Amino acid sequence: MRLRKTLAIFSTCCALALAQGPGGGRGRGPVDPLLFPNPYVSPPEVKGGPIVRLPGGKPDLQGAWLQRTIGNSMSMFSVEKTSGHPQTNIPPTAGIIIDPPDGVIPYKPEFRRKQIDLSENHMIEESDAHCFLGGVPHQMYTPFGMRILQPPGYVVFTWEFMHAYRIVPMDGRPHIAPEIHLWEGDSRGKWDGDTLVIDVTNQVARTWLDQSANVHSDAIHVVERITPLDSNNLQYEATIDDPKAYTRPWTIRYFYSRILDPKFEHLEFACIEGEVDQSKH
């Protein structure tokens, strides 16, 4: 019952958000919520021109972006290489892990056992199913697009999904006290040439990395690298280090395309309204 409910929450929220009528930012058309053959969840790669720059010379990343699918499945289903998950209809995928080369998360044995138990018996514990924020890097590959803003001294990310946002200071300030843990963690940014580097600490342990129950602890430390390839395409890499959960750091990579529809806008995402979850969380 709980597994069916988890899938229903996911399928319903995605289908409703994508099928709101034809055309523009409010028309994303019908969609299979497990395959997402739709430009608002898997945009085509359109070659862009030279990197656009701000007056100070740094790349101008502002605008609406959406990650491209990996193979035939969305990266949000499983970050690691998998033969599929019959209980959740997650298809086989090569994942988005580039290191280690086998595409598999280097879990410590006790955390792999936890991941297997969650995936087989406790899929309702997935944080999205409770309308919680996704954490980093999971929030970066949730559906429906993100916007990037660059006000002076900051980079700001906003999402339709869960009304999430991240505010990244670029002034070199230190991280917050280590005993404080936040759903989206604590982000600090800097430029390395044309690459935006974001150091993320202070995350809660409650979030999953994907919908295959891949987990982490509260010791997770993520270093993101966002590099413009041209005016329409970004490369995203994140190295995840968690000495409690993994035997070594590991890295994911995927790509974003700019959403070129001038009418694109974030819609209302009311996950909490009508929620009838009877669990204790």
Above 50 in pLDDT, residue 72? no
| Rounded CA separation 231/234 (Å) | 8
- For residue 136, the model assigns a pLDDT of 97
Provide the strand spans (E) within 30-185: 63-67, 97-99, 146-149, 154-159, 165-169
Provide the strand spans (E) within 24-133: 63-67, 97-99
- CA diameter of the chain: 56
AA identity, residue 120: E
- For residue 111, the model assigns a pLDDT of 98
pLDDT in tens, 189-205: 999 999 999 999 999 99
> Average pLDDT in the 48-58 region?
97
pLDDT in tens, 223-244: 999 999 999 999 999 999 999 9
How many other CB atoms sit within 10 Å of the CB of residue 40?
21
Q: What is the DSSP letter of 143?
A: S
Tell if the pTM clears 0.75, that is, is over it: yes
